[in-house]
Structure 1
């Protein structure tokens, strides 16, 4: 029997968001609205201007951004899927139908992000098992000609592994 683990955070837990593409900006604004202090970092610092104006704090480096907030974000990670699926009547139906909507986050773009995460994790001396596994999924999808597809295309390689 699987027992689901629930994590609780205090109402004003500090949170870090690294990466301020459309999703990172939306997450940051949602957290700010909920009353969380949010520290952000993006390799293109100018992308942070809007969320900083909304109340986020801009860090100079990913290490500075992670500070004490990273464990809180990781502890809450098991809730993210439930949040994302909340509006779906049948979670994953589009992927099951081989539909990969959206063009803002392609396999190639997210693969480049995975490359940066691997490089940064290595530079910080972090365990590389998970970043390398994620990077491998993107490289597999690119190798199969799906670089221009939405990032959700990596599900094909995961399902066929």
Structure 2
């Protein structure tokens, strides 16, 4: 079992260390607040006194930090020559590319990662992580990384893992806001949230069957096929307008429904009113 260092011991970092220890890897840890390592040290991890000591202890260092600037701050005085850095923090694709160049310039190798499950699910069935960067680096470290969850390698571009991570969270965060907004609409009328949310949760799980499989939807979007056989942009846009007006009358925040309505308004204005709702993609995506 290869030795590994983990820097950053928030909930996600602690979950990673726990999974790695459970799999038998020698783990060295470091955190700005040393006390966060106490339970992990009791479980078998080794506490490093400084970031440089932590990196020197293992051939590969996993970062679980708030963002990429934290990496620069923590590792600015650390020799990375011959070391592999796997950054599982969240930031933008461009930040990942800049970080890869920074690590390479300091003699190390860099792999970007995006963890697609919450901390309690790390290391358990169903967990998966996107990775991008040098293929040989990924291949070398994949057995250890697989301890954290299924590995999904996207390619050599260091920005790809964060791109997929952010795109997935775009779906997730928007759905969470929509769920809370819808609940506010109901409770504004004096109806208990418990009378509404069970059906709303069922609707969330039913969406894939309503819109078709991912491959089917992707194929339609790639060729611009929006036949309008089921739900046209005009029909869906009318519903979006009703939701916005209901929100206004109820005193519920209108930013989210206004944004959704704007997509339909622009699609209809562009001549897609009789096309399927997927025609919104034509006004959302960048024009080439």
TM-score with structure 1 setting the length: 0.51
Q: Which has the higher strand share?
A: 2
Between structure 1 and structure 2, the one with the greater Rg is: 2
1:94 aligns with 2:207: no
**Where does residue 116 of structure 2 map in the other structure?**
3
- Measure how far apart 1:101 and its partner are: 2.7
Question: Which of 265, 277, 284 is equivalent to 1:139?
Answer: 265
The equivalent of 1:31 in structure 2 is none
C-alpha distance in 2, partners of 1:144/1:74? 32
Instruction: Classify 1:139/1:91 alpha carbon distance in 2 versus 1 (closer, same or farther; 3 Å).
Output: closer
Say which of 278, 281, 284 aligns to 1:152. Answer: 278
Q: 1:104 Cα deviation (Å)? A: 3.5
Cα distance change, pair 78–157 in 1 and its aligned pair in 2 (3 A)? same
Among candidates 221, 240, 256, match of residue 130 of structure 1: 256
Q: In structure 1, how many angstroms separate the alpha carbons of the residues matched to 2:275 and 2:192?
A: 31
Query: C-alpha displacement at 1:143, in angstroms?
Result: 1.2
1:105 is paired with a residue whose SS is: coil
Aligned partner of 1:107 among 218, 226, 233: 233
Are residues 65 and 106 of structure 1, via their aligned partners in 2, closer, same or farther at CA, if it must alter by over 3 Å?
A: farther
Q: Measure the CA separation in 1 of the matches of 2:286 and 2:199.
A: 30
User: What's the CA shift for 1:115?
Assistant: 0.6
Scaled by the length of structure 2, the TM-score of the pair is 0.31
- Give distance in 2, aligned partners of 1:78 and 1:4: 18
Matched residue SS, 1:68: helix
**RMSD value over aligned CA atoms?**
3.2
3-state secondary structure, aligned to 2:205: helix
Structure 1 position 138, deviation (Å): 0.4
- Which ranges of structure 2 fall in alignment gaps of 5 or more residues? 1-113, 119-187
Q: 1:72 aligns with which of 160, 174, 198?
A: 198
Deviations 1:50-103 (A, max 9, x none): xxxxxxxxxxxx947885343334555653454446656554211211111333
Greater relative contact order, per chain length (Cα 8 Å cut-off, separation 6+): 1
